[in-house]
């Protein structure tokens, strides 16, 4: 995404997106002490910001229980008065019926077939997830589950056109004195991260995925070192939270300082086990839901913090759509980490082998 000084203009190509933080962006919207209404009809204090600062929020992977978790994110984040929400992809499962959608229809006395589910999936996402944010700008990335019906056309790598687009945008940002920092968002993490086994470096999409991901990382590293402007890299795809994802032996050889990176695939999807033995500075967490809160300073530097969502944060009107067991199930279960052999509670619509890399 790119800034025009007032609101961000989406600049995206097949799931790779950039946000250029310009001096003074959103300064007119810098929050002063006040209140915001919540689901219960009461009000909560808005967390104040320093002059010239602004906030945005990020997460990805809202399949399975996203219709439960995303409204909770919208309600919880209102206290920070974010300027926009950025979704990093994987909106609905598609290879199977999402538990939230299927059980909301069951609560109405209907059992959707796979054909019905596929017709409803996207309108359901718009109504129950995007709609939960009201008038807040909502920017949407592309995940691998969005292209499941077209697997043969989903290469899983950055094309030459994408890499040229990225380089062009970075070249412009390097010489633009108004641009103070760059945030890059994508679905799958770039290669050699701490989540490499489920990323562009996992080998499942062929050698072009790793090669093109390495080129993107080198372009961002070169931009940072040449321009001395901060670069931040955000991804999801892995359904857990992790910081400092590029602080790995492969990316820190010869004393190279890695790019700051985060994985935040915690917007409702079935939770995954963490990679083995994550170091302390990864601050890794799983079996949680939540979002990344970004506070952009007037100089373009960004402070990121993770905000966890709890079952009690789910709005009352959301709970009413489901059997009383679903919301507790989303928080206590919906986890390949806790229950690796759990049986699906909704029908599969595509054979497991067709979805093995996703």
pLDDT tens string 97-147: 999 999 999 999 988 999 999 999 999 999 999 999 999 999 988 877 776
* Signed CA dihedral, 171, 173, 175, 176: sign only: positive
Question: Which of 100-104, 110-114, 253-257, 353-357 has the least mean pLDDT?
Answer: 353-357
Query: Where do the structural domains in the chain lie, given as residue ranges?
Result: 2-355
Global confidence as pTM = 0.88
- 111-118 long-range contacts (CB < 8 A, ≥24 apart) are 114/347, 114/349, 117/349, 118/94, 118/149, 118/349
Residues in the chain: 358
H helices of the chain, in order, are: 66-77, 99-107, 114-125, 160-175, 207-227, 316-319, 326-332
Assess whether pLDDT exceeds 50 at residue 5. Answer: no
Fold classification of 2-355 is: Purple Acid Phosphatase; chain A, domain 2 (3.60.21)
Binning pLDDT at 50, 70 and 90, where does residue 38 land?
A: low
Question: Which of 4-18, 45-59, 335-349 has the least mean pLDDT?
Answer: 4-18
Which tokens is 31 given? 């929050």
Give the integer Cα–Cα distance in Å for 330 and 72: 12
Predicted local distance difference test score (pLDDT) of residue 300: 92
Tell me the CA distances in angstroms from 257 to 153, 182, 251, one per residue in order: 36, 17, 8
């Amino acid at each position: 995404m790119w800034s025009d000084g007032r609101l961000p203009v989406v600049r995206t190509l097949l799931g790779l997106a950039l946000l250029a933080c310009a001096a003074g962006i959103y300064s007119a919207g810098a929050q002063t002490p006040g209140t915001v209404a919540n689901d219960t009809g009461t009000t909560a204090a808005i967390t104040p910001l320093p002059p010239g600062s602004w906030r945005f929020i990020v997460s990805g992977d809202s399949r399975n229980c996203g219709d439960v978790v995303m409204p909770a994110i919208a309600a919880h984040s209102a206290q920070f008065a974010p300027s926009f929400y950025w979704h990093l992809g994987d909106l609905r499962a598609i290879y199977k019926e999402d538990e939230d959608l299927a059980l909301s229809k069951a609560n109405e006395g209907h059992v959707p077939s796979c054909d019905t589910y596929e017709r409803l999936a996207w309108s359901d996402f718009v109504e129950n997830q995007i709609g939960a944010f009201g008038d807040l700008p909502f920017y949407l990335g592309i995940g691998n589950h969005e292209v499941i019906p077209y697997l043969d056309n989903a290469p899983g790598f950055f094309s030459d056109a994408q890499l040229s687009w990225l380089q062009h945008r970075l070249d412009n940002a390097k010489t633009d004195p108004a641009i103070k920092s760059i945030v890059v968002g994508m679905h799958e993490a770039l290669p050699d991260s701490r989540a490499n086994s489920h990323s562009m470096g996992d080998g499942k999409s062929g050698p072009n995925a790793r090669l093109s991901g390495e080129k993107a990382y080198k372009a961002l590293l070169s931009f940072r070192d040449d321009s001395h402007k901060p670069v931040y890299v955000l991804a999801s795809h892995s359904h857990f939270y992790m910081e400092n994802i590029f602080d790995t032996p492969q990316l820190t050889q010869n004393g190279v300082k890695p790019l700051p990176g985060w994985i935040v695939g915690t917007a409702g999807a079935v939770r995954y086990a963490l990679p083995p033995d994550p170091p302390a500075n990864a601050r890794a967490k799983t079996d949680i839901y939540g979002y990344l809160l970004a506070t952009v300073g007037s100089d373009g530097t960004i402070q990121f913090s993770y905000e966890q969502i709890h079952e009690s944060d789910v709005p009352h009107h959301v709970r009413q759509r489901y059997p009383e067991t679903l919301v507790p199930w989303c928080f206590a279960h919906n986890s390949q980490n806790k229950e690796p052999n759990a049986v699906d509670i909704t029908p599969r619509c595509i054979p497991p082998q067709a979805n093995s890399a996703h």
